[in-house]
Structure 1
Amino acid sequence: MATPHPPPTASFSSSSSSSSSSPREHPASQPNQQQQQQQQQTETSCPLPRFLENDPARTGYDPSLKWWMNYFKIITGQITPEGVEHYREDRYKANEARDCARCEADRAYLFKYSPVIRFLRDKVAALNGELDESNVLCRRCPARVAEDGRVVRQGGGFSPEHGILICANEMRDRSHLEDTLAHEMVHAWDHLRWKVDWSGGGNLRHAACTEIRASMLSGECRWTRESLTRGNWTLTQQFQNCVRARAIKSVMARPACRDDLHATRVVNEVWDSCFADKRPFEEIYR
């Protein structure tokens, strides 16, 4: 996803970051003035969800106990799903140094050996941008449990002012980190190539387009990832469905998005042109 949550010490800048494309170059992400005015009139900000604090009496999870005692309570069904998430978050805090060190080692490996990461880094450099260890940072990203039971977490983020954030505690392995980093690097390339409205306050079409492209080009929707990791064994339209679903989910995280129907409508509006746009690749690499 592209929701920016980077640490304040990162930086990402370029002399070409103010360049913009013409409507002919990217028609779907450049609505006309009338469309923009209509969208601004109809879009309203969603209230932020309320997040729950752990209550041992309600969840069964008691942080004062040894971790293995709480783990035993989990496998014996004595802790609620909400309590499991609070337990997971506390374990992430305890293992933060280990997770970040592993993430940084994998990041260095990918910058050196991954074809897709090296290719995207070179394409970003061609637009006078720079991505390296100074602005691609590994950090622990807190997860939160919303009042309606949803668990709000992220794998990474991109911010034009700061750079790329990789959520070390959410990375399953090096391959997962490669997909996440490639996703955010596509956002970085889009930022340098076009004027993208990252806030989405007046134009969610920009957010929808870059999310479609990032999910399509990063490899996170390839069939092996969907089938072996997510258990989706669909043989027809699997790739398109994955890209569409992940783009809708990311657009829903924008404050200007009202609900899933609003996000779906915006993604559908830009789908044809943005799904066909494989730049800076010549074809879908992974």
Structure 2
Amino acid sequence: MSSAPQWKGSTKEQCEQYVQFATRRNPVVKFMLEKLKLAGCEVKGNFIHLEECSMDAGGGFRAPDGVVMCYNHVASQEEVNLVLAHELIHAYDHCRGKDIDWTNCEHHACSEVRAANLSGDCHWWQEFRRGNMTLAAQHQSCARRRAELSVAMNPYCKGLKGKAAVDRVFKPCFEDTAPFDAIP
């Protein structure tokens, strides 16, 4: 689940336009859609659901239904691009790991580390806008922090349980850049 900063949101119709643009034009989203197809999990028309969400998040991945875009928490094309890329990485992880258990804190933590690392969530510009700038290991710190925030939203991983899961899986999951050759 990708945590939303302080988003005000859009209408369902605006969000639909943002999603359509992202799936046709955003390089990371298009790449992930192609890699899902090659992995045997082609995204069909009803895979991306636009919903009004009460949780403070831009979207989520709900296996096996697909991606949820919380239109009331995303207000721009850039936000939709990031959320969609993030959630498609979860979809890819779910596709390639047929036995992934989203109630298992380590499984969830690994996918969150990967999504934060590979989606653009931790690009220096995003971190600058959040006011999170350090000189050393900024990208890794961001991926860890964002994974901890997302895993903490899982009712099975509350409190220190989620943080401990992120700590246990961080290194191998951060280094796993599939389907990318390197961090985009």
Q: TM-score, normalised by structure 1?
A: 0.59
Deviation at 1:251, TM superposition (A): 1.5
Instruction: Please state if 1:265 is matched with 2:180.
Output: no
- C-alpha distance in 1, partners of 2:75/2:126? 12
Q: Secondary structure at 2:162's aligned position in 1?
A: helix
Query: Which residue of structure 2 lines up, in the alignment, with residue 255 of structure 1?
Result: 155
Aligned-residue sequence identity (percent) comes to 36
Structure 2 gap segments, 5+ residues each: none
| CA displacement 1:12-38 (0-9 Å, x = unmatched) | xxxxxxxxxxxxxxxxxxxxxxxxxxx
Ranges of 4+ aligned residues in structure 1 off by more than 4 Å: none
Residue 2 (structure 1) shift: 6.8
Give the conservation status (yes or no) of the 8 Å contact 2:105–2:161. no
Q: How many residues align?
A: 180
Alignment correspondent of 2:100? 196
Higher relative contact order (CA 8 A, sep 6+): 1
1:212 and 1:243 in contact (8 A); partners too: yes
Matches within 5 A, 1:101-112: 101-112=13-24
Cα deviation, 1:123-154, whole Å, max 9, x if unaligned, reads: 000122122442212221124xxxxxxxxx11
Structure 1: gaps (5+ residues): 4-87, 93-97, 144-152
**Structure 1 residues 113, 252: closer, same or farther in 2, change over 3 A?**
same
Question: What RMSD in Å do the two structures reach over aligned CA positions?
Answer: 2.0
Distance of 1:2 and 1:159 partners within structure 2: 12
SS in 1 for 2:33: helix
CA deviations on 1:57-82 (whole Å, 9 max, x unpaired) are xxxxxxxxxxxxxxxxxxxxxxxxxx
Mapped partners of 1:2, 1:174: distance in 2 = 16
**1:158 aligned counterpart, secondary structure:** strand
Change (3 A) 1:99 1:277: same
> CA 1:216/1:248 → structure 2, altered by over 3 Å: closer, same or farther?
same
Give the alignment's TM-score, normalised by structure 2.
0.90
Pairwise CA distance, 1:278: 0.2
2 CA distance for matches of 1:258 and 1:192? 25
**Residue number in structure 1 paired with 2:109:** 208
